[in-house]
Chains A and B, each alone.
Chain A
Amino acid sequence: MSTADDASAADETAFLTLVEAVARRRPGLEPIEAVLLAAAFVGAVADSRSLAKAFDVAHAHALRAVAALDEAGLVAVGRRDARSSRAHYALTEDGAALVAAAEADPA
């Protein structure tokens, strides 16, 4: 395995650990919702379509996650693309605080 592969695997492990920590801190979160929060926190994706592509899920699945987290006050939805319903979002203070707490104490 190359150094790049090692780094990639470490990234993946770290990301998954964060996702799981978020999910433990907020029971009832769907897996896609925990992934969305973690991915937004690390600055990877900030819209539903990119999330769907990055994680190979149905766009509808991603949109539902955005809607649920918006309702929960963890993300705020900005503009939407009419053609595809792509929803742009950002973490709210509560959302960022949740992920930060999970990052600080992943156990």
Chain B
Amino acid sequence: MTDPVSTPKRSSAAGGWGALKSCGKHLLGSRSPLSGARALLKANQPDGFDCPGCAWGDPEHGSSFEFCENGVKAVSWEATDKRTPPKFFARHTVSELRGWSDYALEGEGRLTHPMRYDAASDRYVAVSWDTAFAEIGATLRGLDHPDQAEFYTSGRASNEAAYLYQLFARAYGTNNFPDCSNMCHEASGIGLAHAIGVGKGTVLLEDFEKADAIFVVGQNPGTNHPRMLADLRKAAERGAKVVVFNPVRERGLERFADPQNTVEMLRGASRPIASHYLQPRLGGDMAAFRGIAKAVFAADDAALAAGRPSVLDRAFLASHTEGLAAYRAAADATGWDAIEDQSGLSRAILEEVAEIYITSSKSIATWAMGVTQHRHSVATVREIANLMFLRGNIGRPGAGLCPVRGHSNVQGDRTVGINEKPPAAFLDALEREFGFAAPRRHGHNVLAAIGAMLDGTAKAFIGLGGNFARATPDTALVAKALASCELTVHIATKLNHSHLVPGRVGYVLPCLGRTEIDRNAAGKTQIVTVEDSMSMVHGSGGINKPASKELRSEIAIIAGMAAATVGSDRIDWAAMAEDYDRIRDRIERTVPGFAGYNVRVRRPRGFMLRNLAAERVFETATGRANFSADALPAATEHQVAAGADNTFVLQTFRSHDQYNTTIYGLDDRYRGVYGERRVIFCHPDDLVTLRQSFGERVDVVGLHADGTSRIAEDFRLVPFDMPRGSLAGYYPELNVLVPLSTFGAESDTPTSKSVLVTVCPRTVAAAAA
């Protein structure tokens, strides 16, 4: 490589060239950049870059971005100089690697070559792409039925990759689409579809600038959506109330220091965010919102009795909702004792929150996994929607419902067809566009896919990204499920534990990351598109060189597998992989809302997918927004645990140094944990009791009478501000305790936030096992 030249040669040409010496100063000093050069550059941009860190909206998309802390980690993680080449796999057997931590595996760096598992040597060995595609295609064609294959999607997959993937699987003949959203916001999709006719949020980023009150439920944006904290902080600074519902007292929600504010950072200052921080018991959010609604109804009765205007938005309720009377009856029938016991919150504080709601003219409710990973999550989402309906907080500026997604394109994946229960209209459109008979039978979600692999019904697992073996509950069972397959294929950027439980035929296929420039055979750069939590669809192009010349894009890999499996007679997979505009043209013709896709997505910030509910058009069975009148659950896990000795309810959550199953480091600085992950957080008084009984380090044992032993071994107890009787710790390590048999009603989401456990000393649990 030539040495860099830092000083340009001086111009010696005549006729105006000498003026170039001063040009540099003008370029930097000019308030208006060179118009001619700008015009020159306008023709082929702006293709922005979508940070894969989360799905929070981004007003600066594509411009001079600054990454939040999570974004820095996500981009750096992918841009590492470390490589996991074939010689690494030659040195380590798969059995040996199973003993490595997730952090250590990912720390080895980027995968560089397609690898095939060789059972004789228990190692992965490098193969060519053509060999991989040929064998994958032959194995899939050799199955008895297409429904024996499972096609898993991680939320990182772009719209284009996801669309091509579902097209491949449907052309092959199945709707088996286990998908990461099955484990996270499924309840939001189902609950909102019942309530407002669309399973997506109704707010835009701009609404956060206008809201008077923001209710943040079951969420930790400090760790999972740091840019959201900046928006919450701005809201708090202009006087909006930010009311937090979180059993664990998260520092990031209390105070936030803006890293963009140099003075504040130098002074070590921060600003408060939450005006009210409520710590409900795990699973108690539905009861809390029932209580708030009950108080709102009471206030309304009092106002009317006193001759004052109603505190409800009667016009909205009359014109746009159905079921208010039944909901009112349900609220009246729910006693305060039941509400307080289940929520863990007092009537007084819930009435105070109700007053905030009543005195705010514009309110937003946001939520995440603290709401969606319980048995009654769909009912909880609907309860939140119920409250928001009472004062018409939907479909107007500054108001609405906002489930906040953690993965950068989990919403987009569903939009473009990753759905095991596809709408008939979508399948009709695919048939018209591509000329094949799309399968109509509903397929498998995550739980059903695991069950099918365990009972031998499913024989092939294809994973488009992600770490299925770690992201799922009942870790040991899922590993067994994957290892029982005839075929496993993982499309990935780095090595993870899912790759270490290969099927009889096992492949790891390395792909380009979101940060890497993707060029087709002609050298033309490609962009992909994603949809954020606010239904904004925008383009993303890579910014770094690929980690290896052998890498292919997810789209190219899918196209290669598809061509080898179902052939190219009907669908020209290669052509779509060559130019992603062609994929977007197909999406435009088969998915509503994408008219002018290739043009609109290249505008700054892209475009918004129309959300009818945000316009107060509710495509529900009643044609209106639907109240629900569900009773509170008979007992939450917390209430069950309260009656039993040494019984706790555990929630799993992320540390500050991780992104889902990707472990960036071993610190969780907001919670004061450094250099370790095997920790259990508990109330200080519970900690005293537990330490006295069991010592510093304990085992945690699942309490489920299904005959399966579930033990998480060797965890250090850490005191934290959270309700008594609750425990918390990191996933994926604690996924061993989450049973497959306990899942949300309608959502089928594993109940990762409500796991009944007991605590044992190290020796007792190990001996019992």
Contact = CB atoms under 8 A, between A and B. Distances in A.
Interface of A: 7-8, 10-16, 18-19, 28, 30-32, 35, 39-45, 49-50, 52-61, 63-64, 67-68, 70-71, 73, 75-76, 78, 82-85, 89-96, 99-100, 103-104
Contact of A42 (B2, B24, B43, B63): B24
A67 B36 CA distance: 24
B435 interface: no
Nearest to B544: A67
Contacts of B30: 8, 54
Which residue among B8, B25, B75 has the maximum number of chain A CB atoms within 10 Å of its CB?
A: B8
A90 B4 contact: yes
Given A15-B23, A76-B4, A60 B541 contact: yes
B23 A19 contact: no
A16 B76 contact: no
B17 interface: yes
Interface string B1-24: 111111111010100110111111
A95 B24 CA distance: 17
Interface string B415-457: 0000000000000000000000000000000000000000000
Given A67-B543, A103-B13, A58 B45 contact: yes
A43 B24 contact: yes
A96 B9 contact: yes
Interface in B1-60: 1-9, 11, 13, 16-17, 19-28, 30, 33-38, 40-41, 43-49
B138 interface: no
A77 B33 CA distance: 24
A35 B13 CA distance: 20
Interface of B: 1-9, 11, 13, 16-17, 19-28, 30, 33-38, 40-41, 43-49, 62-67, 72, 75-76, 259, 517, 523, 525, 541-545
B1 to A, nearest CB: 7
A58 B539 CA distance: 12
B45 A61 contact: yes
A84 B543 CA distance: 12
Main secondary structure of the interface of B (DSSP, over half): loop
A95 B23 CA distance: 19
B549 to A, nearest CB: 11
B5 A91 contact: yes
Contacts, number: 186
B67 A84 contact: yes
A27 B28 CA distance: 28
Contacts of B20: 11, 14-15, 18, 42, 103
B65 A59 contact: yes
A83 B43 contact: no
A82 B22 contact: no
A41 B66 contact: no
B1 A16 contact: no
A60 B44 contact: no
A75 B72 CA distance: 24
Nearest to B73: A82
A71 B545 contact: yes
A52 B8 contact: no
A68 to B, nearest CB: 7
Contact of B21 (A28, A39, A42, A96): A42
Contact of B27 (A54, A63, A91): A54
A59 B48 CA distance: 8
A11 B28 contact: no
A64 to B, nearest CB: 6
Contact of B33 (A30, A56, A82, A89): A56
B28 A50 contact: yes
B64 A84 contact: yes
